[in-house]
Chains A and B, each alone.
Chain A
Amino acid sequence: MTPPAFSSTRQALGFVLLLLFLLLLPLLLQKPLLPPRAEIYSSLSWGAGSFPWLHDQIFEEKGDIDIAFMGSSRMGWGIDTSQVEERLSQALGRKAVVRSLWWNTPGCDALYYIIQDLLRRRNVHCIVLHDCTSGHDAHPRAPYFFRWAEDSEELDGVPLISKISFYTSAVLGAPRNLLGLLRTNLPAIPSPDITWQGGSTVFSNIPNPFSRLGACAVPMRIDAPFVEYTPPPTAHPAEPVIYSEATKDQFRFDGTKFFAMQSSFLRKVGDLARAHHTRLICLHMPLVDEPNPSVIEETAYWPDIFQTDVTIMGVIPSRFKDGMSDEDFRKLFFNFEHLNANGQKYFTSVILPGLLQLYENQSKH
């Protein structure tokens, strides 16, 4: 016979009180009881994304940022930030400030809360982001960055199922916030390399993003040993395409329906960008296999979703792959969607002219 769940009614009462306390903790932890937001970032390790670097950039470093590349790991792994900073400095005739700020797993809620934390503290002239839409539930890191007393007002317009997911995140994150009241987190250890485990893959001895302006250059392939590779020059080098009336035939928006939660947070990102006079550029990040290699295919026409001006830019997939065999092209990628150290260097060199043109035009206005 199965023993009863509780040996006495008093024990059941104790269980009720414990559950009530845990489930109501996000409501009990009012703003004065929450540790500073800097503690959120210092409590997350490299395994969750570039959080030690985000902490440094949002809460420690001061001054304007010219261009911030923001989004999920596809952005952090795909852009050689130093290359952009160097070329932009030459173009502007002054030291430019370019940073990559990224985290693991897509989700527009993470994008919104991290951009909000950044723009509250630093003036950012231009944010380059990519399609990091996801499902209807909160980001896996929401227990850290979402705190009910501070952030629940931002859930206006978000469906109930998503709100429940955010409340659950707040429940899971509450004990750590309580702990944050008792002691502060230790700073990140400065080291030339970082190592973390992602699923069954161990990423070892990856150059520390602190030394690369936030970029994560991964010298690895998931399907084969990594070899350094630079695509050969071609007669018609790949070039970036900026969406306009003249180039619209080179783009396709597949019109996939977004989860309401994702579009709600993208609208909020648009509001933030407008309020802070920050230009938004949506960059098409390459994949190993694009569904339609002759056009730049994006999920949506982004200005409609952000409800503000967003410049869309990308490289036509067939042009990006031009002159390379399938096997050579794979040498640019870690997996089907993440560029590795080879791809980061090459993709950045291809999009740079378009990026510089957009930034210089912006500076003139």
Chain B
Amino acid sequence: MKIKASTEVCIYFLVIILSLAAILMILCSPEQFRDVKIVYQIF
């Protein structure tokens, strides 16, 4: 199935928006949340 060009733009747009949202969330959170070891322990 061929993905339409406009859908493709939309997907990459979402990749950027969601990645930025995740980065914003981490930046607004305790420093510990940037520590992979601690995040791993939470999981």
* Interface, chain A (partner B; CB < 8 A): 5-6, 9-10, 12-13, 15-16, 19-20, 23, 137-140, 142-144, 161, 164-165, 167-169, 171-173, 175-176
Instruction: List 4 A-B pairs, minimum CB-CB distance, nearest first.
Output: A168-B25, A164-B28, A19-B18, A168-B29
Q: Which residues of A contact B26 (CB under 8 A)?
A: 168
Q: Number of contacting residues on B, CB 8 A? A: 22
Known contacts A16-B14, A16-B15, A175-B43: does B30 contact A139 (CB below 8 Å)?
Answer: yes
Supply 6 A–B pairs (Cβ within 8 Å), ascending by A.
Answer: A10-B3, A20-B18, A23-B21, A144-B42, A168-B26, A172-B43
Q: Identify which of B24, B30, B33 gathers the most chain A CB atoms within 10 Å of its CB.
A: B30
Contact at B24–A164, with CB atoms within 8 Å? yes
- Of chain A, the residue at the smallest CB distance from B9 is A9
Determine whether the beta carbon of B29 is less than 8 Å from that of A176.
no
A168 touches B11 (CB 8 A): no
In the bound complex, do residue B8 and residue A9 qualify as a contact, i.e. CB atoms below 8 Å apart? yes
A13 touches B11 (CB 8 A): yes
B15 touches A140 (CB 8 A): no
User: Complex formed: what's the CA distance from A168 to B34 in Å?
Assistant: 11
Q: Which residue of B lies closest to A169 (CB)?
A: B29
Instruction: Name the A residues within 8 Å of B18 (CB-CB).
Output: 16, 19-20, 23
Residues of B whose CB lies within 8 Å of any CB of A are 3, 8, 11-12, 14-15, 18-19, 21-22, 24-26, 28-30, 32-33, 38-39, 42-43
Shortest distance between the CB of B37 and any CB in chain A (Å): 11
CA distance A140 to B33 in the complex (A): 8
For A140, the chain B residues whose CB sits under 8 A away are: 30, 32-33, 38
For A9, what are the chain B residues with a Cβ–Cβ distance below 8 Å? Answer: 3, 8, 11-12
Which of B8, B12, B26, B42 has the most A CB atoms < 10 Å from its CB? Answer: B42
Instruction: Please name the residue on chain B nearest to A179 by beta carbon.
Output: B43
Are the C-beta atoms of A12 and B11 separated by less than 8 Å?
yes
Q: Interface residues of A: mostly helix, strand, loop or mixed?
A: helix
- Whether B3 and A138, one on each chain, are in contact in the complex, defined by CB atoms closer than 8 angstroms, is no
Q: Is the CB of B21 within 8 A of A137?
A: no
Minimum CB–CB distance for B12 against chain A, Å: 6
Known pairs A10-B3, A12-B11; A143 contacts B25 (CB<8 A): no
Q: Which residues of A contact B28 (CB under 8 A)?
A: 137, 161, 164-165, 168
Contact B30 A19, beta carbon cutoff 8 Å:
no
- A26 to chain B minimum Cβ distance, whole angstroms, is 11
A140-B8 Cα distance, complex, nearest whole Å: 38
Given the known interface contacts A13-B11, A167-B25, the answer about A176 and B42 at a Cβ–Cβ threshold of 8 Å is yes
Distance of A15 Cα from B14 Cα, bound (Å): 10
Q: Which residues of B contact A23 (CB under 8 A)?
A: 18, 21-22, 25
Which of A23, A140, A142 has most chain B Cβ within 10 Å?
A: A140
Q: Which of A16, A20, A138, A171 contacts B30 (CB 8 A)?
A: A138
Chain A minimum-CB-distance residue to B5:
A9
Across-interface contacts of A144 in B (CB, < 8 A): 42
- Tell me how far the C-beta of B32 lies from the nearest C-beta in chain A, rounded to whole angstroms: 4
Determine if A172 and B11 form an interchain contact, defined as CB atoms under 8 angstroms apart: no
A350 to chain B, nearest CB (A): 34
Q: Tell me which residues across on chain B come within 8 A of A169, comparing CB atoms.
A: 29, 33
User: B22 to chain A: closest CB distance in Å?
Assistant: 7
In-complex Cβ contact of A168 among B3, B8, B33, B38 (8 A): B33
In angstroms, Cα B22 to Cα A171, docked, is 10
Q: Contact at B39–A172, with CB atoms within 8 Å?
A: yes
Interchain CA distance A19-B24 in the complex, whole Å: 14
By the criterion CB–CB under 8 Å, are A164 and B11 in contact?
no
